[in-house]
A and B are shown apart, each in its own frame.
Chain A
Amino acid sequence: MTRRRVPFVVRNPSVLVFLGLLAAFTLGVTVLSEATGIGLISTSMVKTLGKTLCFCLIAVAMDLVWGYCGILSLGHFAFFGLGGYMIGMWLMYARTEMIVVEALAAQPIPPTDAEIEAAIGNQIFGVVGGSEIPAIWMFADSLVIQLALVVLVPGLLALVFGWLAFRSRVTGVYLSILTQAMTLALALYLFQNDSGLRGNNGLSGLQNIPGFEQTPQSTISIAFLWASAAALGLGYLLIAWITSGKFGNVIRGIRDDEARVRFLGYNVEAYKLVVFTLTAVLAAIAGALYYPQAGIINPAEIAPIASIYLAVWVAIGGRGRLYGAVIGAAVVSLASSWFTGGQAPDIPLGFYTISWVDWWQVLLGLGFVLVTLFAPKGLGGLVDRLVRR
């Protein structure tokens, strides 16, 4: 029984292996990039890889909530999107303010604060027929507060939603449907022009980081790659630590037989709420790192289908093993952007041409079926088998 007294990373060598691979990957991309290396990897590719790391982070969170705790949430992309919106508000506001101030500085009479604010409002909200800055933007000029909101807004939404759902003992497919309804409702709300977040236009120009106007995108992309890798590494470490201890035993117990856990004296609902909220916060952090690399966020990003894809990544990667979630998210999302980005060559059959933009989903569905049939433990399960050999 002494095995439990050894340090955490020694007991979990896979964590060290993962962190090592992640560091090697990040360094490798840096060395091959345009800004800091030999230029073999284009800036847009660096951004794609950085975004993929953010997907891996939300997938690891999904594995905690679904793979370990058994809650099939089909709404975690709502938290990812909200995290993006929260940071996007500062990015857009601060940059617009800078542009407006610069433009008004050319006038003979120095502008008043009210004039500057009116000009910012016009710039940002003219597209939805308004010029008033909505109340929810009141902190948009403060990076610190918006960063806090990245965590607080999705965290609070998850806390309230989870509290209502879990205390009513909503489980299984009903809970999944409820989470879909949540993300759909949020998306529909954000689509409205008077939601205060520019309706279907969303927030754009997020790749321009205020204060770094002179820094080329190639350098910014490397900075975000590093930030995303650090977030993924820390998130992975945190979840690996949580699942390796007694807490992990309890939530796996909840996944397999929640009534039994209850009769052992554990408040199952409290555990679910902790896991649901924590993973929502991780998803939000992933989103806050993703959208500055994507450059634009709009309500379509949190449509129900996005969260379903997340579940597919984790299922293909293999539930209940964190590296499985990472593999699933990386493989499927990179393949998806390759096939739908027009890079995959079309296949002419004479009578019909397979164009991958349309056929990618069929391929994904087929892949899903194949994994379910031949590798029920997912791609991560295949890694397990290789390592054991």
Chain B
Amino acid sequence: MTTDTLLEVSGVSVSFDGFKAINDLSFSIGEAEMRAVIGPNGAGKTTFMDIITGKTRPDSGDILWGEPTRSLLKLSESQIAQLGIGRKFQRPTVFEDQSVADNIMMSLKAHRQPWSVLFHKFTQDDGQRIREIAEEVLLVDHLERSAGDLSHGQKQWLEIGMLLAQDPRLLLVDEPAAGMTLEERNHTTDLLREAAKTRAVIVVEHDMDFVRKLDCRVTVLHEGSVLAEGTIDHVTSDQTVIDVYLGR
């Protein structure tokens, strides 16, 4: 499963006003791997994503990426995104004012500098890519609709589509199935598992059933550090995990 390490987080800590949100956390994921990150509220799951994507700077520790290995600590959010780390937020954040096609078009892998974007010519290839992605996320009939008019589940999918359009090497997905119907969830599971065949996917989730369906290694976070790691059956039978989840 794991060939080379794509992302390695080592000994990272960050605190907000004295509160240690992340405490000496170490984590690594390989090239084409799916990983679920679970943990109770306040375990530091979102902060963990903020640190990888450059939104929050850690107080100590290092984050290493790719080969040849380089540190992400000095890079801006946009530079990290350009390296191939895509992020989906917990609350679906799409550009509601713009059409589904435009949302995907903006996400497509291409030059990101103002000058090349200004003179960007929309090609047949772009149209083809947008259509393919829209088909994957079941929005092909809604391309011209305003993203704000989509249902909650469709917005989640659009955001996953925007992630795929970026063609990232690592996808960070925060609660992708929140607020979805059972059918929608199943399709989301398929999408993520398909993506994980060619790239690394980290899914942050609350819902144990959903995690079970993803059928992947699970990392349990608690109070800002890794509590347990292994198969879903392994971690759910771990006594400390049971204590953390049920003992409160």
Question: Do A and B assemble together?
Answer: yes
Contacts of B112 in A (CB 8 A): 264-267
Contacts of B81 in A (CB 8 A): 262-265
A242, B98: Cβ atoms under 8 Å? no
CB-defined interface of B55-92 with A at 8 Å, one 1/0 digit per residue? 10000000000000000000011110110001101000
Binds A, one of B9-17, B116-124, B183-191, B202-210: B116-124
Given A264-B106, A266-B78: A245 in contact with B120 (beta carbons within 8 A)? yes
Contacts of B230 in A (CB 8 A): none
For the complex, give the distance between the alpha carbons of A4 and B130 in Å.
Answer: 13
A249, B118: Cβ atoms under 8 Å? no
Contacts of A268 in B (CB 8 A): 78
Contacts of A267 in B (CB 8 A): 76, 78-79, 112-114
Contacts of A252 in B (CB 8 A): 95, 97-98
Q: Is the CB of B23 closer than 8 A to any CB of chain A? A: no
Contacts of A274 in B (CB 8 A): 114
A247, B120: Cβ atoms under 8 Å? yes
CB-CB nearest in chain B for A275: B114
Given A246-B120, A249-B105: A264 in contact with B166 (beta carbons within 8 A)? yes
Q: Is the CB of A250 closer than 8 A to any CB of chain B? A: yes
Contacts of A264 in B (CB 8 A): 78, 81, 106-107, 112, 162, 166
Minimum CB–CB distance from B172 to chain A (whole Å) comes to: 9
Contacts of B130 in A (CB 8 A): 1
Name A246's contact: one of B87, B89, B122 (CB within 8 Å): B122
Q: Is the CB of A368 closer than 8 A to any CB of chain B? A: no
Contacts of A250 in B (CB 8 A): 106, 117
For the complex, give the distance between the alpha carbons of A249 and B105 in Å.
Answer: 9
Q: Is the CB of A253 closer than 8 A to any CB of chain B? A: yes
B106, A270: Cβ atoms under 8 Å? no
CB-CB nearest in chain B for A253: B95
Q: Is the CB of A257 closer than 8 A to any CB of chain B? A: yes
For the complex, give the distance between the alpha carbons of A240 and B53 in Å.
Answer: 34
Contacts of B106 in A (CB 8 A): 246, 249-250, 253, 264
Name B114's contact: one of A249, A262, A263, A271 (CB within 8 Å): A271
Given A263-B81, A268-B78, A270-B114: A249 in contact with B87 (beta carbons within 8 A)? no
Q: Is the CB of A256 closer than 8 A to any CB of chain B? A: yes
Contacts of A262 in B (CB 8 A): 76-78, 81
Contacts of B127 in A (CB 8 A): 1-2, 4
CB-CB nearest in chain B for A267: B78
For the complex, give the distance between the alpha carbons of A271 and B143 in Å.
Answer: 26
For the complex, give the distance between the alpha carbons of A267 and B97 in Å.
Answer: 21
CB-defined interface of A225-253 with B at 8 Å, one 1/0 digit per residue? 00000000000000000100111011011
CB-CB nearest in chain A for B120: A246
Minimum CB–CB distance from A3 to chain B (whole Å) comes to: 9
Q: Is the CB of A388 closer than 8 A to any CB of chain B? A: no
CB-CB nearest in chain A for B127: A1
Q: Is the CB of B131 closer than 8 A to any CB of chain A? A: yes
Given A249-B102, A249-B105, A263-B53: A1 in contact with B131 (beta carbons within 8 A)? yes
Contacts of B96 in A (CB 8 A): 256
Q: Is the CB of B101 closer than 8 A to any CB of chain A? A: yes
CB-CB nearest in chain A for B107: A264
Contacts of B77 in A (CB 8 A): 259, 262-263
Q: Is the CB of B93 closer than 8 A to any CB of chain A? A: yes
For the complex, give the distance between the alpha carbons of A354 and B87 in Å.
Answer: 60
B105, A265: Cβ atoms under 8 Å? no
For the complex, give the distance between the alpha carbons of A250 and B96 in Å.
Answer: 13
For the complex, give the distance between the alpha carbons of A199 and B53 in Å.
Answer: 51
For the complex, give the distance between the alpha carbons of A248 and B53 in Å.
Answer: 25
For the complex, give the distance between the alpha carbons of A242 and B114 in Å.
Answer: 11
Contacts of A260 in B (CB 8 A): 89, 93, 95
Q: Is the CB of A389 closer than 8 A to any CB of chain B? A: no
Contacts of B55 in A (CB 8 A): 259
For the complex, give the distance between the alpha carbons of A248 and B1 in Å.
Answer: 42
Minimum CB–CB distance from A266 to chain B (whole Å) comes to: 5
Given A253-B98, A262-B78: A246 in contact with B117 (beta carbons within 8 A)? yes
For the complex, give the distance between the alpha carbons of A1 and B133 in Å.
Answer: 14
Minimum CB–CB distance from B123 to chain A (whole Å) comes to: 9
B78, A247: Cβ atoms under 8 Å? no
CB-CB nearest in chain A for B53: A263
A270, B98: Cβ atoms under 8 Å? no
CB-defined interface of B4-27 with A at 8 Å, one 1/0 digit per residue? 000000000000000000000000
Minimum CB–CB distance from A388 to chain B (whole Å) comes to: 15
For the complex, give the distance between the alpha carbons of A257 and B106 in Å.
Answer: 13
Residues of B that sit less than 8 Å from A by CB: 53, 55, 76-79, 81-82, 86-87, 89, 93, 95-98, 101-102, 105-107, 112-114, 117-118, 120, 122, 127, 130-131, 143, 162, 166
Residues of A that sit less than 8 Å from B by CB: 1-2, 4-5, 242, 245-247, 249-250, 252-253, 256-257, 259-260, 262-268, 270-271, 274
24 pairs, A vs B, C-beta closer than 8 Å: A245-B117, A245-B120, A246-B118, A246-B120, A247-B114, A249-B98, A249-B106, A250-B117, A252-B98, A256-B95, A256-B96, A259-B55, A259-B77, A260-B93, A262-B76, A263-B77, A263-B78, A263-B86, A264-B162, A265-B166, A266-B112, A266-B117, A267-B113, A270-B114
Beyond A1-B101, A249-B98, A265-B81, 15 extra complex contacts between A and B, CB < 8 Å? A1-B143, A246-B117, A247-B114, A249-B106, A252-B97, A256-B95, A257-B93, A257-B95, A259-B77, A263-B81, A263-B86, A263-B87, A264-B106, A264-B166, A267-B114
Task: Return the 9 tightest CB-CB contacts between A and B, nearest first.
Answer: A1-B127, A265-B81, A4-B122, A246-B120, A262-B77, A265-B82, A247-B118, A267-B78, A274-B114
